[in-house]
Chains A and B, each alone.
Chain A
Amino acid sequence: MSAAQILFGLMSFIALASAVYVAASNNLVRSVFMFFVTLFALAGLYVLALADFVAVTQIVIYVGGILVLILFVFMLSGRETLEAMQHQPKRLWKLANLPAFLICALLLIVLFNLFMNTNADALPWIKQAVHNNDVIKAENTMTENIGINLMTRYLLPFEVISILLLMALAGAAHLSRKEAGA
């Protein structure tokens, strides 16, 4: 086994274990912080898939932005939430959760069967990419290429996303303003 495979196993174990903890824990603060760990492990998986720029963006935006926002809202929504959390039943395997568990388990079985039967590494377009030497290697630096592609081939999605971000900014500010009387 190479070092990359060992790291892949470690990272995916950390990601899946912390995600299971998020699902199992009733304590909101703990599950938010375990979600941190999941995101970091996923960033490690992105590095192993040779997407280092995406990994850094993941850490900056998810860990730096989204999680801080979630913690903010958690603190603003205050004590009642915390107390409501304490009164929930402690067990993970409640009967009421059985339908949800069945849906997830069956979906997982379907997906596993699908992936085992397709053999993604033998797909035609991937074989062709390998044949054309269109595969990212570990010694390539892709950040420059990403920048060039963002400004040429993907300029329209980039602009659409920037407008959407502006709309989300205005919408969030409008939603969370102090209501004057109404």
Chain B
Amino acid sequence: MISLTHYLLVGACLFCIGLYVALTKRNAIQILIGIELMLNAGILNLVAFGKFDKAANGGQLFALFAIVLAAATTAVALAIILNVYRRYKTIDPNKVDKLKG
């Protein structure tokens, strides 16, 4: 029997690693990966608590919704990254500093 606290601790570690990746990397794709790591930490918590909701399946269903939302976010974000690359020839967010191209 694995206790809930273990899942929460693993989720917390993953969230902090994802936050670090999103804060320090100088590449839009890697920042996106960091955000995905944080989302996955959240989904892990939803799933772990969802074990205690057999009738309504709240946790598991909202984990599914979160996965779908992550997919939609990624598709739009990658389209934006491609556009930024086409205009600036770089995907370093620090160098993209014009509001009007």
- Residues in A lying within 8 Å of B, measured CB to CB: 2, 4-5, 8, 12, 15-16, 19-20, 22-23, 28, 31-32, 35, 38-39, 42, 45-46, 48-51, 53-54, 57-58, 61-62, 65-66, 69-70, 72-74, 76-78, 80-81, 84-85, 88, 97, 100-101, 103-105, 107-108, 111-112, 115-116, 119-121, 125-126, 129-130, 134-136, 140, 142, 145-146, 149-150, 153-154, 157, 161, 164-165, 168-169, 171-172, 175-176
Contacts and interface: CB of A to CB of B under 8 A. Distances in A.
Given A45-B44, A97-B24, A175-B83, A116 B5 contact: yes
B98 interface: no
A35 to B, nearest CB: 5
Contacts of B10: 12, 15-16, 45
B78 A69 contact: yes
B interface, over-half SS: helix
23 contacts: A16-B14, A19-B37, A22-B17, A35-B37, A49-B44, A50-B51, A51-B47, A51-B63, A70-B74, A73-B82, A77-B85, A84-B90, A100-B24, A101-B20, A112-B12, A129-B52, A129-B53, A134-B53, A146-B60, A150-B61, A164-B69, A171-B76, A175-B76
Q: Chain A interface secondary structure, helix, strand, loop or mixed? A: helix
Contacts of A35: 33, 36-37
Interface of B: 1-10, 12-21, 23-24, 26-27, 29-30, 32-34, 36-37, 40, 43-44, 47-57, 59-61, 63-65, 67-76, 78-83, 85, 89-92
A80 B55 CA distance: 53
Contacts of B81: 73, 77
B52 A157 contact: no
B64 A57 contact: yes
A28 B21 CA distance: 12
